[in-house]
Amino acid sequence: MKARKLLMIPGPIEFEPEVMQSMATPTPGHVDPNFIESFGKALELMKSVWLCPAGQAFIIAGTGTLAMDIAGSNLIETGDNALVISTGYFGERYAELLKRYGANVDILRAPLGDVVPFDQIEAQLKKKNYKLMTFTHVDTSTAVLNDAKLFGKLGQKYEVLTILDGVCSVAGEEIRQEEWGIDVVLTASQKAIGVPPGLALLVASQKAIKAFENRKTPVGNYYCDWTNWLPVMKAYENRTPSYFGTPAVNLILALETSLKLILKEGMDKRFKRHLQAGKAFRSAIKALGLNMIPVNEKVSANTLSAPYYPERVTGGELLGGISKEGIIIAGGLLSEIKAKYFRVGHMGSVNRSDLLATVGAIESGLRVCNYSFNSGVGLKACQDILNDPA
């Protein structure tokens, strides 16, 4: 029997073998002609995955928080007004981050499991002039999905730069950055992009780049400063080497491989596959009689789910039981309810067998916890959706 476990947490996720092979390539120098080609290609492919052909892509060594920092530090100057729409843990992080760069931050907080009502956001935008607005597309702490298209529209209408934290959504949930008019879409490599942790990735609209160019003061973060990175990205896109900080060479080779696989599947198909995976998983959880944090289907993410433990079932016991079945899932993250729920990632390369194995393991875990349900009911619900081609 193979001693392997299936990683079903909301990032890092399971990676494709081709991506891992790229990671194992003997490391080339960052000015090696083959690497220059790969870096340039990865920047171009990002714009196709982000559906933002006119944007400027950035690939910088770091995590998703660095991608948030890059967008925040380059677009905020001391005294700028910023509006943060928070649907959980990562919205709060963005507010703290923007304050470090001197922004006057207002936060609109959603009720647990829900989004901030559109009218409330619009009323706030009417009341005050903002330089930028951030929102978390999928908050990984609550599995709540925001309507990204709507934010794009609001940003355009009120001339506010929009930053979409897509760490748990890019290449999983539908995003059409250019068509929807979103200024920065940022993510990290370890989630639906399908590359081991270590890359901060973002695409900025030309409007965002202009806003950066029109700054009156220097960027308050040396490593993040686009003054340092823009020439590097442009050089590699033009297939010439350039240097500011050593690129994460193997991760970039792996990124090129993964982006090619993503585009081979096709963005529309990929969005649909995630939608179906999300639906199938939620359907299984509901059939098992468990409640979830998102208050309805419309605000439920398709890249991960966040079910509450049933009464008298503890996290330690359930997660332990699931792990014995070979599946790794995550506990809660939002401090107020951390011990009351768990999280399951279903993004990127996740397939039908992974989903069914996970639901099966959850059923086994629940049985160990003496939770009463009809055996197989979750599996059937999951399969019914997966078998439905619609």
Which positions lie near ligand PMP, rule CB under 6 A? Answer: 11, 63-65, 90, 136, 139-140, 165, 167-168, 188
Q: CB of residue 185 vs ligand PMP: minimum separation in angstroms?
A: 12
Q: How far is CA 13 from the centre of its chain?
A: 12
C-beta of 112: minimal distance to ligand PMP in Å? Answer: 16
Please name every residue paired with 165 in a beta bridge, in sequence order, or none if there are none.
136, 186
Separation CA 390–CA 388 (nearest Å): 6
**Which residues lie across from 186 on neighbouring strands?**
165, 202
Separation between Cα atoms, residue 362 and residue 378, nearest integer Å? 9
CB of 324 to ligand PMP, least distance (A): 26
Nearer to ligand PMP, 96 or 213 (CB): 96
Round to whole Å and give the CA distance between 234 and 70.
17
Whether 56 contacts 230, CB under 8 Å: yes
- Tell me the C-alpha distance between 168 and 136, whole Å: 9
> What residue ranges in the chain does DSSP mark as E strands?
6-7, 56-61, 81-86, 104-109, 132-136, 138-139, 144-145, 161-165, 184-188, 199-204, 304-305, 327-328, 330-331, 342-345
| Minimum distance from residue 296 beta carbon to ligand PMP (Å) | 20
Measure the CA–CA gap between 350 and 6, rounded to whole angstroms: 10
Chain centroid to Cα 185, Å, comes to 10
The amino acid at 142: T
Give me the least distance between CB of 337 and ligand PMP, in Å please.
17
Two tokens at 132?
């930028």
In the bound state with ligand PMP, the residue whose beta carbon lies nearer, of 337 and 377, is 337
Is 171 within 8 Å of 185 (Cβ atoms)?
Answer: no
CB of 63 to ligand PMP, least distance (A): 3
**Least distance to ligand PMP, CB of residue 11, Å:** 6
Distance CA 192, CA 172 (A): 6
Query: In the complex, which residue's CB is closest to ligand PMP?
Result: 64
- CB-nearer residue toward ligand PMP: 154 or 167: 167
Q: How far is the CB of 137 from ligand PMP (least distance, A)?
A: 7
Nearest to ligand PMP of 136, 300 (CB atom)? 136
**d(C-alpha 168, C-alpha 166), whole Å:** 5
